[in-house]
Every structure is written in structure tokens, then in C-alpha cells.
Copies of this chain bind each other. A is one copy, B any other.
Amino acid sequence: MPKYQSFQTIMNHQIPLPAQLLTSYLKLGMDEKELAVILHIYRYQWEDNAFPTPEELAECLSFSSQECSKLLRSLIQKQLLTIEEHKEEDVLKECYSLEPLWERLFTYAPVKSQSSQEFEE
């Protein structure tokens, strides 16, 4: 018989996934690889790693860190991901922010094209 993780472990590893991400990533111009990159960034945030490297992200991806870097740039270009800077004890730290993605997902009728998005804001 397999030995299962404790319920405590199972409960402590649940990440709230907005259904809107699943129904809208296509409309937002993402494919499944980009979705996976987003999900891994989100998971690292939960594990208190706010700026995982492409190598760290690629550990659990079916493709290379080079392709991951390319997708990260593409997500940033599409304004679904941003890199933010903040000071922590006088050291400038960078972290990924998924806020632009959440904002578009939680907008009443998800906006499709970037131009209309810019117009609305």
C-alpha cells in the first residue's frame, strides 16, 4: 500500500487558482506553455521565492530555461507579468508581479486586444 502524505501536508499545499485564468488565458494571448510558466511563478510566490530564475522555473517544465526566458519576455511584452523593484534593508530586490494578469482576469468582461485595454485604462 502506498504511504500518503499527511492531511496537514495536503491542506498546506493548496494554492487558490482562479477559474478565470483557465477560461481566459487563451483570450489573453497565452498558450499552455505560458500558462505553465505563470503557474510556476505563482507557486514560487507561495513558497516565498518572489523572483525565481528561469533555471528554477524550468526545473518543473518540459522545456529548457532558454525557452522559459523567451516566454517570460513574451509575457512581459503582453503586459501580463511585470518585474517590480523594492528596497529590502538597503538592497534593491526584484520580484515578479502577477497583478496585471489578475487585473485583466477580474475585469468584468475580460478584454481581448491590448489596444482596447489601453483605451479603457
| A residues apposed to B, CB below 8 Å | 1-8, 10-20, 22-26, 31-33, 35-36, 39-40, 43, 45-47, 60-62, 97-99, 102-103, 106-108, 111, 120-121
Tallying the copies of this chain within the complex gives 4
Whether B121 lies near A45 (C-beta < 8 A) is no
State the Cβ distance, A43 to closest chain B Cβ, in Å. Answer: 5
- Interchain Cβ contacts under 8 Å between A and B, 5 examples: A3-B107, A4-B106, A8-B99, A10-B18, A15-B19
Task: Chain B residues near A1: list those with CB within 8 A.
Answer: 120-121
State the Cβ distance, A20 to closest chain B Cβ, in Å. Answer: 6
Q: Answer whether A46 and B19 are a contact pair too, CB < 8 Å, given A32-B33, A103-B2, A107-B2.
A: yes
